[in-house]
Chains A and B, each alone.
Chain A
Amino acid sequence: MANSGRYNIFGAKVVKLLPLLSRRISTSLLNRRSELSEGRVQHKNEREVSIVPKIERGPTDILKVLASTVGRDYTAAHYRYHDDPYLIPISNLSKRSFALSKESGRKSAKWIRQQHSNLFEHHVAEPPIQAFYPTPVFTDEVDFDESVLNTLINDSHLTDAMKVYEMLQNKGKEITRESKQSLLELIAYYNEVEPLDEEWIEERWYKTGILGKERQKNTWKENGLAEKIFKELDPADSKAYCAIIRGRAKYYQAEKAWHLFREAQAKSLTIDIETYNAMIRIVNFSRENSELRWQLLQDLLSEIVESRLKPNLNTLNSILETVSMMGNIRQSKSLSLATLAEFKSLGIEPSLASYYYLLISHCKDRGPVSSILVDILNEIKGKSFTILDPKDTFFFVTAMDICRNHLQDLDLAHMVNTLLHVGNNYDLIGDSYKESVYYRHFLALKCSLEPFDTFMDFYNKLVPNIYTPEPQIMEEILKSLELHEGYEYISQLWSDMIIFDQTYRATLVSLLLSIMSNYSPTTQPSKYLKNFADIAWKIWDTIETQSEEKEKKITWTGQMLGNIIIISLKADLIDKAFMVIKKLLQSPLDILGVPDINALRLFVEYAIKEDNGVICLACIQYISDAGFPETVELATTVFEKVKLDVIQVGRLSNIVGFNVAEKSPNSKYGESLNTTTQ
């Protein structure tokens, strides 16, 4: 927060500086002129020149400013990927896989260094850089004392610190109370689980984050090292009590936390504000219904007032979190707003997490529509945020979700997006899951509300380097395409589907086929027909040649085949249509459902034009087997228009159930008969 003014070279500070500089220059010029023109009236320097205090610049401030002038390059992949066309990922799976395989390479290098630590102890760098040396291993032979423990605690190496502590205890060495206290705090904070090293940035980025409320269950390690140290710190002072209470509350061991809390109060120990914050967070786990919870919360808050403690941002966020999950929706709405107002009067600025809790309190799925997001965005417009609470990263995703599902407001979504790109706010997008969900909502909203051309411009900017659409979003885009008749984009979307590895999705493929088959080029130019036929044929090839062992196999449906027939016939590729029909007729058991009657009707028309009696007959057979009522009509058409021999007429009659020759006297068959008899 203090840095926000520092590298703001193009901001307010310079604006103040420039006129001052110009004033300085002009006054000096005036002075010179007055010196030269002696005898003339001297222009006195009336304005006071005040020297602006020096702005302290950090070593990388200029770099940061230069970086801020360069916007996002939409044509380049992310920096984590190597800049080579072979090595740039496009589909979601490959993006994840490449980033994580690079990190696994780094992990294996680190492992090798640990295994052969005796080979990596040379000192090349001056001054020595600790990160390049192997991490020290603590064995019983090495003699160490408490200072080692303190350095480990400072560097937050949890497992090493615990191990060293036990070793020191076994050796009977003296450990000071301060070390025990800091070790207790460390263990209580992490609950004896070593956190993922900050070095493994890709793993952290791709860790499956659960959006929303995860199941919060009690995971506190009973009879663990934290409890042991707490007992050793007897008589426990307030700091020890606070540490262990906070640890228990953090990991949802609510009952015992309250027990210790009351114990500490009974001993009249001072409890600090962070402990109260932790207790506020577990209010919902300590009482059953919303009234009791509200009562308990009020009690806690009055205790804070009595202890003359100053609430901070964490207090605000804890209260909002508890209130949002209290149970009574109306109460949580009013309470959240009241809390925010009160903390504003105390001078505590809400963070993005506070706004997140507001959103989840007010914009419920089953509830009245709330436009609180508009007010929030007006409030925080143009502000630059840093991370102040772990839940800050939930804000942008939730906001975009609300824009799409709750409010269906595109302008609001644009406001959220602009806010995301202010300053360093993009860092608060969280992790890869949240980013993909954010763009998923944004794209879906745009796709349904914007004209298709504008949408495709935006799509081309984002895809594939920033975001790759999931199959569901692809489906929505295709549906919107059908609605807006954006047929010129079909080939692009099809090639995108191929490179995103989505061609094995049956819903997508059949949707695409139905869109292409519905395209009737009476009003539009028909250059797309050839394209569509190519795409349809590609789909045919892909599905026909997919291997048996593949888990994600698409089975042909009658609809799909019917659509391919229509598309091929519209593009005048009759032999392809014949191939499809052959498949339809020969292996009806592999195919789910039947094609649309229009497809079959169209095919029969073409077959009639070709004067191919055999195929016509086979078709009619299939149509009657499928149970279409149009069998009779088509059969009579076939009889009238196509040259059939006696056997075929007989079979045709069998199919329709009556003698076709009698019903339609004007037929080719009749002509041929007449000619022969004559």
Chain B
Amino acid sequence: MGSLKYLPLPFRITQRLVPFTSRGIFTTTSLDKARSGRFRVSIKHDKPLTYEEAQKPHFIAHRKAWNSYNTSSFKYFGLRKSQTAVEDVFIRKFMTGTWHNLFVSEIIIKRQHNFIRIAGIVQRAVPVRKMYFLIGYSEELLSYWLQCPIKLELQTVDDKKDMIFKYV
């Protein structure tokens, strides 16, 4: 019987031969590579990234800010983390779907008291009248759905290419 213990090392040892006389179970955490929020380098290096996309998630609060601002984790304000998260998903899907190919940035959602402010950067692809129609429509419909006042705070940008921070 071998007295060598199983070595809980994160990397595979190929150089040395370690005799294992018993089969054990993995007791480490699942050590997958972090892949979320990161864009892989393209072959031709022509994939455009906005500033937010270019910063990896560990830069949040350093070079990057959040996309949702709310007090849902406070017990005093009702502790509605899950409802808020679901509402945020709904808002983002709704905005992206209503504004066809118009948003060129992330949709920022800020909640203050019972007020929801939705911010984002929109490209000037449609005439101004249509933009105003969409503004009125989104504000009104979302306020009916979420039953609180909604305000859109949009900024327009001439060209999608103005948002590109780097090519990867």
Contacts and interface: CB of A to CB of B under 8 A. Distances in A.
Contacts of B114: 125
B147 A109 contact: no
A105 B130 CA distance: 9
Given A82-B135, A105-B140, A87 B130 contact: no
A197 to B, nearest CB: 13
Contacts of A103: 136
B133 interface: yes
Interface residues of A, number: 27
A113 interface: yes
Interface string B132-159: 1111111111011111100010111000
A289 interface: no
B137 A84 contact: no
Interface string A287-310: 000000000000000000000000
Contacts of B129: 97-98, 101
Nearest to B158: A86
B6 to A, nearest CB: 54
A129 to B, nearest CB: 6
Given A87-B156, A105-B134, A120-B145, A110 B140 contact: yes
Contacts, number: 76
B102 to A, nearest CB: 12
A101 B144 contact: no
A124 interface: yes
Contact of B133 (A101, A110, A120, A123): A101
Interface in B11-68: none
B128 interface: yes
A364 interface: no
Nearest to B146: A124
A112 interface: yes
A334 interface: no
Contact size range, B: 20 to 34
Interface of B: 114, 124, 128-141, 143-148, 152, 154-156
24 contacts: A84-B154, A86-B128, A86-B156, A87-B131, A98-B129, A101-B129, A102-B132, A103-B136, A104-B133, A105-B133, A105-B140, A106-B140, A108-B137, A109-B136, A109-B138, A109-B141, A109-B144, A112-B141, A113-B144, A124-B147, A124-B148, A125-B147, A125-B148, A132-B143
Q: Secondary structure of the A side of the interface?
A: helix
Contacts of A472: none
Interface string A88-114: 010000100111011111101110110
Nearest to A134: B144
A120 B154 contact: no
Interface string A437-465: 00000000000000000000000000000
Choose among A98, A99, A109 the residue with the greatest number of B CB atoms under 10 Å from its CB: A109
Given A84-B156, A125-B147, A125-B148, A94 B128 contact: yes
B156 A105 contact: no
Interface in A111-146: 112-113, 120, 123-125, 129, 132
A105 B154 contact: no
A215 B32 CA distance: 81
Contacts of A120: 144-145
Given A94-B128, A99-B132, A109-B138, 12 more contacts: A84-B154, A84-B155, A86-B128, A87-B131, A102-B132, A104-B133, A106-B137, A109-B137, A124-B146, A124-B147, A124-B148, A125-B147
